[in-house]
A and B are shown apart, each in its own frame.
Chain A
Amino acid sequence: MEQLSAKELRDRIAAGQTSSVEATMAVFERIRQFEPTIGAYISTCEEKALEAAADVDKRIVAGEPVGQLAGVPVAVKDNMCTTFGATTCASRILENFHAPYNATVVDKLLAADAVIVGKANMDEFAMGSSTENSGLKQTVNPWDTSRVPGGSSGGAAAAVAGGLCFAALGSDTGGSIRQPASFCGVVGLKPTYGRVSRFGLVAYGSSLDQIGPITQTLADTALVLNVIAGHDPADSTSVNEAMAAACDYLEELEEPVEKLKIAIVPEYTAGADESVQRALSDAIEVYKKLGAEITEIDMPHLDYATAAYYVIATAEASSNLARYDGVHYGHRTQSPKDYVEVYSKSRAEAFGQEVKRRIMLGTYALSSGYYDAYYLKALKVRNLIRGDFTSAFEKYDCIIMPVAPTTAFKIGEKTDDPLQMYLSDIYTIGANLAGIPGISIPCGFDEDNLPVGLQILAPAFGEEKLLRIARMFEKETDWHKRTPPIV
């Protein structure tokens, strides 16, 4: 069963060849078997999932219309609000928080008749690149359980790779969908900023956050994007349909892009591991064979992306996370002396190290006297980087580069060195700063049989073409068909 893609499963359920209940039960069987090892989920909801599955089956038998993801078991990263179960952001401060509303994407999944099986583990408040910052549990990489799944959407990527769901929603602020997708050998798309509603996504860096699919195949990515994309009146930053209407991403997926012009940035990506470089050159060869024209370009401002990112994201985070204060909901310290202690102790007790570090960085960057030197300067850098991408896309259809400098690293390898950890996002951050879509697709394996991801970046709202370009590669290769040894 797990060999099926989400789309294949959906088609079989619709055709009556299998049932959603059968598929959902199989998923929970696998969860019982592998979850103790992988640790992908913070919470699962078997009863609710089976009820939803039975409902879909009943409606299919009755010949009633069903949604695009009818009966497909999916996972949702635990920073998207759900009225069922807790929404923890993998933080002890929200460990028992039950949201009174569903995130827009969750409502959309439910409206599409998807069967939500659980909430996936992540770095606390999506701050991290290995899911080791989860305050609640550890997730390992299904390809090598001594290694990290990447992060921050590590639970979601591991769940898809480990066959613990058929597709998942992650969120990407600086690479948090693409990097774990790369580490776990699956497909991960960060859509254009504003393409998917953020309403109900617990904010980390509001101007950078974007929800996107993590799937086994590009067809699945297109399918899930079909369900979640589009304007949401509850999110003022979600793009107006009149400006950039979402379309049926499946419709033209198989159409190759003619006279494809690809840019590469060798100077910028020179620091990547040899195995990653090798996989990238092989990928370039594949595109060349398909008739693409490859050009080396320079992105002069990308070198400053990481610095700018850690100012902007932490500044926004310091403000976004101010609400977790023990007053209205979430963890509250025992017997505080006064209300100031409610704040200071509740926060000190329940936030993890990395979250505290970023809150402090961001608070500093916004402080009077430092604002211009840090926050304002970072915004200027952001504009320059946006400009670099804009001028590149005037000439080229897309830019390809590695997703991360390395493949999945060992658990604990970088936890003592935050700066080293920050550099895992060096190639993915640019897309968030520029607000453009980026995808990670499997493009090879290193000597340790760990997956390598290929990153493709496209102009804003160019998801349709981006997916077609990625699909050209997927059709020519079978990296995506490999499954982790644990499976």
Chain B
Amino acid sequence: MAQLQHKVIVGLEIHVQLCTKSKMFCGCAVEFGAEPNSRVCPVCLGMPGVLPVMNKQAYEYSVLTAMALDCRIPTFTKWDRKSYYYPDLPKNYQISQYDLPLGENGFIEIPLESGRTKRIGITRAHLEEDAGKNLHTAGNFSQVDLNRTGTPLLEIVTEPDMNSGAEVRALAVELQRMVRFLGVSEADMQKGHMRFEPNINLAILKDGVEYRTSIVEIKNLNSFRALERSVNHEEHRQLDEFLDTGKVMKMGSKTTRGWDDEREVTVLQREKEEAHDYRYFPEPDLMPVKLAPRWLDDIRSHMCELPLKRQMRYVEQYKLSDYDAGVLTAERSTADFFDEAVEAGGEPKRVCNILAQTGLRKANEKGCSIAQLGVQAIDVAKLAQEIETGRINASSAKTIFEEIVKLKANVFSRATVEDPLTVQRIAEQLNLIQKSDAGELEAIVDQIIAENPKAVEDVTSGGKKSKKAKGFLLGQVMQKTKGQANPKVVSEILAKKLG
């Protein structure tokens, strides 16, 4: 048997739709799901005589993202025309950036399942306008919807640094989290805000000789699942093909495949990369962009602590589990809310538990962010403190949290909700304050001891039954106090009395 080892090599092109109000080069609204050809104007329709005007916001969003990707940010960039004929491209050229992208030579750290991170190189990031959409729904002709035409797209190209479907997925997820934290994209997969094109081939070591398979590009993937599975599928397909045919990479050969989501296979689209000549040349209708230091500083001032860094900080600083830290940093609003509650005096782990177990679940139910539930960060800090001191228990904290959400939903009680004493008042109203007064509890414990001589005997005799009997007595006290006794205090009293 021949000795065979292989490694999959993947680089990724990602298109991220920026969340600007208007399009890249005209004033039309960027809007998903509007009636076809209702968000268009002479400029994005490519009418004769129109001229583009750069959307400054889109440029700033792009530069901010490139900064977050640790790219070198050139102070001089320009626009180029990329020519190709397609019905969804009204000008038959796309305004893009060719040889002077707005960011280059960066990297992104991605979390691995092992808990470690891996650095993936970023080749370049540039801004361009999106094309429209061809619709083939009506008879023997096609229609074109140009609502999407001119939407700002940030194209990010990575180095071929990924070596598994899982890593490719991790990068995509991390990038999604990053652009959301930066507030530059909604990155909503359902709306096509992120589109992926992986380039995949294999390095195969056979009998001590290394072979490379031809690069395959998979077009237009718009879910993490399809992305990961298509890479995994391609890995096996290429290995099988190599074993069958022995075919290896030829210079410049690259095939294009599509992903069949139902059959979960990649399908050949173009055998040879067509000799595309895009005839790039500088866009004469737009001035080059010069990033003056002050503008650059202004963009930089919008930088935030990035999600992976923040996740790692939570683990390090607050001793949260990697999983919990990941949950808190999935959305910027959750992480910000968490920080605020911790700042207000909540013990991090308890705050985390309240948010993860109650807050996020509730927010999910309502389809909003934690901050939009109406519970203040200070309320959560208070809840954490009350648990800490033993005045309430975790399940009461949940009840109080949900009660505040309920009150908040009723506009008339808004004033009550904003009262900093909310937590305490609701706890009292709902009788959720734990009895921790040793004197009061001692009397009840005495009563229970008197009523249950058998159990007392089991405890004092030690041995097998002791533990169970202790639990029984504790349960009796809890029952007597309708669950309001602080179990920790009761246990202490029991231990003292029964040795």
Contacts and interface: CB of A to CB of B under 8 A. Distances in A.
B54 A323 contact: no
B374 interface: no
Contacts of B54: 236
B285 A101 contact: no
Contacts of B91: 322-323
A152 interface: no
Contact of A89 (B48, B83, B142, B284): B48
A151 B46 CA distance: 27
Interface in A353-388: 363, 366-368, 371, 375
A84 interface: no
Contact of A236 (B50, B81, B93, B286): B286
Contacts of B46: 323, 328
B285 A237 contact: yes
A81 B49 contact: yes
B78 to A, nearest CB: 12
A201 B49 contact: yes
A324 B81 CA distance: 16
A198 B284 CA distance: 12
Contacts of A94: 48
A200 B47 CA distance: 9
Given A316-B284, A319-B81, A322-B93, A236 B51 contact: yes
A133 interface: no
Contact of A366 (B47, B49, B51, B279): B279
A160 interface: no
Contacts of B285: 203, 206, 236-237
Interface in A191-244: 198-203, 206-207, 233-237
Contacts of A100: 42, 47
B87 A363 contact: no
A26 interface: no
B277 A367 contact: yes
B249 interface: no
A325 interface: yes
Q: How large is the interface on B (under 10, 10 to 19, 20 to 34, 35 or more residues)?
A: 20 to 34
B320 interface: no
A329 B47 contact: yes
A99 B48 contact: yes
Contact of B45 (A207, A318, A328, A342): A328
A101 B42 contact: yes
Contacts of A206: 284-285
A335 to B, nearest CB: 11
B183 interface: no
B290 to A, nearest CB: 13
Nearest to A235: B51
Interface in B146-160: none
Interface in A274-326: 315-316, 318-319, 322-325
A137 to B, nearest CB: 20
Contacts of A315: 281
A213 to B, nearest CB: 19
A409 interface: no
A80 interface: yes
Contacts of B280: 366
Contacts of A363: 279
A200 B49 contact: yes
Contact of B49 (A103, A324, A343): A103
Nearest to B276: A368
Interface string B51-93: 1111000000000000000000000000001010101001111
B47 A99 contact: yes
Contacts of A318: 279
A319 B93 contact: yes
A329 B45 CA distance: 10
B210 to A, nearest CB: 32
Contact of A367 (B53, B81, B142, B279): B279
Nearest to A375: B281
Contacts of A103: 49
A97 interface: yes
Contacts of A45: none
A94 B47 CA distance: 11
Nearest to A232: B51
B92 A322 contact: yes
Given A234-B53, A322-B85, A81 B48 contact: yes
B112 interface: no
Nearest to A342: B87
A339 B52 CA distance: 27
Nearest to B92: A322
A366 B80 CA distance: 12
Nearest to A209: B284
Contact of A202 (B49, B87, B281): B49
B92 A199 contact: no
A487 interface: no
Interface in B346-396: none
A327 interface: yes
B144 interface: yes
A327 B93 contact: no
Interface string B270-281: 000000010111
B49 A339 contact: no
Contacts of A81: 47-49
Contacts of B83: 319, 322, 366
B287 interface: yes
A87 interface: yes
Contacts of B52: 236
A202 B90 contact: no
B284 A199 contact: no
Interface in B127-157: 142, 144
Nearest to B277: A368
Contacts of B90: 323, 327-328
Given A343-B85, A367-B277, A368-B277, A99 B284 contact: no
B87 A236 contact: no
Given A235-B51, A236-B52, 10 more contacts: A81-B49, A87-B49, A99-B49, A199-B50, A202-B48, A236-B287, A319-B279, A323-B92, A340-B85, A366-B83
In the complex, the 10 A-B pairs of residues with the closest C-beta atoms, listed nearest first: A322-B92, A206-B284, A207-B284, A366-B279, A202-B48, A200-B49, A202-B49, A81-B49, A323-B46, A323-B91
18 contacts: A87-B49, A94-B48, A99-B42, A201-B49, A206-B285, A236-B52, A237-B284, A315-B281, A316-B281, A322-B91, A323-B90, A323-B91, A325-B85, A327-B144, A328-B45, A339-B87, A363-B279, A367-B277
